[in-house]
């Protein structure tokens, strides 16, 4: 018999949840034996190998009830926090409604609704949406659509960029560390330094570049663009017939204090890529949003309507999670809250920087904040 102080644990007839709860102490051992032992080793070295029992809001909880404030959130995957009750309620209701799942040969109204609500928050004309399961898949889709729409082979990205680790997006990634051992990669991909307009124009001048793919704020080191860079890069792309792609997988949906980071610079890209936070912290979902004329050039004929698909891209639970996320962000004023919290955190961090010389630099926008550390200065003896 349970008492008022003993919460009733969820159960299922197949015992899946019960087994997971009973085997929680085996989490790292299971991961080491059947998943990625090297990552388990790294987590141990960093002291991050805690077996968490539950998560709620911004906190993870271990078996002893200790709470850990989660500053990572999967690079923004859990921007609403863990196990948000509003998203969970929508997912339960979606299952209970028995809606058509909307994959492959069917559509669910949820997919059209989510596409509409995304488009309404983006610059005019970005109203054609392709749903995928991951940000890398959204990047890959933009690569394909840009080539098909322009008839051009080449793609340009930036040094130090990150766009995903599947083979196509990996060909754009600006750090060779991720590429070692996986070549040869996709031909026709080149990089330029982030912020260097002269190098970008030199690449575009040849007239064979389908798209320039750029993160408005580079996620790996939270690197902000130089003043005027992104708008000028967009204009260069227009001049040379190259499509301008804003990879907002990490920066989108309020993280930088605007719905999309592109708003900080008044950008009007040809593609916007969305992922991570669109999940509500629950379901894999990402989106490529582009202009209708680009979409139609790539796949918009009867013969080609099925040449680019994603099996689970528009499944009902992912679409429902995406809609719930957008509506919670709107209802709770979380975009403005992220902008406000930037001031609170950066002011506090600046005060710490004045006291501790190991803090080299603080940079970011909204709640996308990077703290660069350096070796502490030591006074020479004598």
Tens-binned pLDDT, residue by residue, of the chain (382 aa): 333 444 566 789 999 999 998 998 899 999 999 999 999 999 999 888 888 888 999 999 988 889 999 988 888 889 999 999 999 999 999 999 998 887 878 889 999 999 999 999 999 999 999 999 999 999 999 999 999 999 999 999 999 999 999 999 999 999 999 999 999 999 999 999 999 999 999 999 999 999 999 999 999 999 999 999 999 999 999 999 999 999 999 999 999 999 999 999 999 999 999 999 999 999 999 999 999 999 999 998 888 888 899 999 999 999 999 999 999 999 999 999 999 999 999 999 999 999 999 999 999 999 999 999 998 765 555 4
Indicate the DSSP class of residue 275: -
Which position has the token pair 């102080």? 5
Query: Among the options 77, 131, 145, 162, which is catalytic?
Result: 162
* Domain presence at residue 2: no
User: Do 295 and 355 fall within a single domain?
Assistant: no
194 and 255 part of one domain: yes
In whole angstroms, what is the distance from residue 370 CA to residue 86 CA?
Answer: 29
Structural tokens at position 137: 């898949």
Catalytic: 276?
yes
Residue 365 located in a structural domain:
yes
- The C-alpha atoms of residue 92 and residue 85 are separated, in whole angstroms, by 10
- Assign residue 316 a region: left if phi > 0, alpha if psi is -120 to 50, beta otherwise? alpha
Instruction: Supply the CATH number for residue 99's domain.
Output: 3.40.640.10
Residues 338 and 320 reside in one and the same domain: no
Position 296 in a domain:
yes
- 162 flagged as catalytic: yes
| 175 catalytic per annotation | no
Looking at the domain assignment, is residue 77 inside a domain?
Answer: no
The CA distance from 301 to 73, in Å, is 40
Q: Are residues 268 and 130 in the same domain?
A: yes
DSSP output for 8-65: PPP--TT-HHHHHHHTGGGHHHHHHHHS-HHHHHHHHHHT------EEEBTEEE-TT-
4 occurs within a structural domain? no
Residues 176 and 249 in one domain: yes
CA distances from 254 to 26, 95, 103, 191, 259 (A): 36, 28, 28, 28, 4
> Of 299, 315, 331, which closes a domain?
331
pLDDT value, residue 52:
87
Cis peptide before 210 (omega within 30 of 0): no
Whole-angstrom distance, CA of residue 172 vs CA of residue 169? 5
Q: Are residues 196 and 312 in the same domain?
A: yes
96 and 125 in a single domain? The answer is yes
pLDDT of residue 145: 98
Which residue is associated with the tokens 């996308």?
A: 368
Q: What pTM does this model have?
A: 0.93
Catalytic: which of 247, 260, 270, 271?
Answer: 247
Distance of CA 94 to the CA centre of its chain: 24
Whether 95 and 226 share a structural domain = yes
Q: Are residues 143 and 241 in the same domain?
A: yes
Q: What is the chain's Cα-based Rg? A: 22
Task: Among 310, 331, 352, give the residue marking a domain's end.
Answer: 331
The order of strands in the sheet holding 126-132 is: 126-132, 286-291, 271-274, 243-247, 209-214, 154-158, 189-192
Does residue 266 sit in the same domain as residue 352? no
Residues of the domain holding 257: 87-331
Buried b (16+ CB within 10 A) or exposed e, 120-142: ebbbeebbbbbbbbbbbbbbbbb
Residues 97 and 126 in one domain: yes
Q: What is the count of structural domains for the chain?
A: 2
Structure tokens at 66: 């200790």
**Does residue 75 fall inside a structural domain?**
no
User: Which helix H or strand E contains 297, and what residues bound it?
Assistant: helix 292-299
Question: What confidence score (pLDDT) does residue 377 get?
Answer: 62
pLDDT at res. 1: 37
151 exposure class (CB count in 10 Å sphere: 0-12, 13-18, 19+): exposed
Residue 135: per-residue pLDDT: 97
Same domain membership, residue 364 and residue 219 = no
- 59 belongs to a structural domain: no
In a domain, 165, yes or no: yes
Q: How many Å apart are CA 64 and CA 50, to the nearest integer?
A: 11
Last residue of a domain, one of 331, 349, 373: 331
């Amino acid at each position: 018999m349970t008492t008022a102080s003993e919460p009733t644990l969820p159960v299922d007839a197949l015992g899946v949840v019960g087994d997971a709860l009973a085997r929680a102490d085996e989490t790292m051992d299971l991961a080491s034996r059947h998943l990625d032992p090297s990552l388990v080793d790294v987590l141990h070295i960093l002291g991050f190998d805690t077996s968490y029992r539950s998560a709620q809001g911004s906190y993870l909880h271990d078996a002893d009830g200790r709470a850990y404030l989660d500053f990572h959130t999967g690079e923004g995957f859990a921007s609403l926090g863990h196990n948000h009750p509003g998203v969970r309620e929508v997912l339960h209701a979606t299952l209970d409604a028995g809606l058509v799942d909307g994959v492959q040969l069917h559509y669910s109204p949820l997919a059209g609704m989510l596409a509409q609500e995304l488009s309404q928050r983006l610059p005019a004309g970005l109203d054609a949406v392709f749903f995928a399961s991951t940000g890398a898949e959204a990047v890959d889709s933009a690569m394909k659509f840009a080539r098909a729409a322009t008839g051009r082979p080449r793609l340009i990205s930036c040094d130090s960029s990150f766009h995903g680790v599947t083979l196509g997006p990996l060909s754009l990634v600006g750090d060779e560390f991720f590429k070692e051992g996986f070549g040869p990669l996709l031909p026709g991909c080149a990089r330029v330094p982030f912020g260097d307009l002269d190098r970008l124009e030199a690449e575009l001048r040849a007239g064979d570049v389908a798209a320039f793919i750029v993160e408005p704020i580079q996620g790996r080191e939270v690197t902000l663009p130089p003043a005027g860079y992104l708008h000028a890069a967009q204009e260069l792309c227009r001049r040379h017939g190259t499509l301008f792609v804003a990879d907002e997988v990490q920066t989108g949906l309020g993280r930088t204090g605007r719905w999309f980071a592109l708003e900080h610079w008044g950008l009007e890209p040809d593609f916007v890529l969305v992922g991570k936070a669109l999940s509500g912290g629950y379901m894999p979902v990402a989106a490529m949003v582009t202009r209708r004329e680009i979409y139609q050039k790539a796949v918009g004929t009867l013969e080609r309507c099925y040449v680019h698909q994603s099996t689970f891209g528009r499944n009902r639970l992912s679409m429902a999670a995406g809609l719930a996320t957008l509506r919670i962000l709107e209802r709770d004023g979380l975009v403005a809250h992220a902008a406000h919290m930037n001031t609170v955190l950066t002011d506090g961090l600046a005060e710490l920087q004045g006291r501790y010389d190991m803090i080299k630099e603080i940079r970011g926008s909204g709640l996308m904040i990077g703290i660069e550390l350096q070796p502490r200065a030591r006074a020479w003896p004598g």
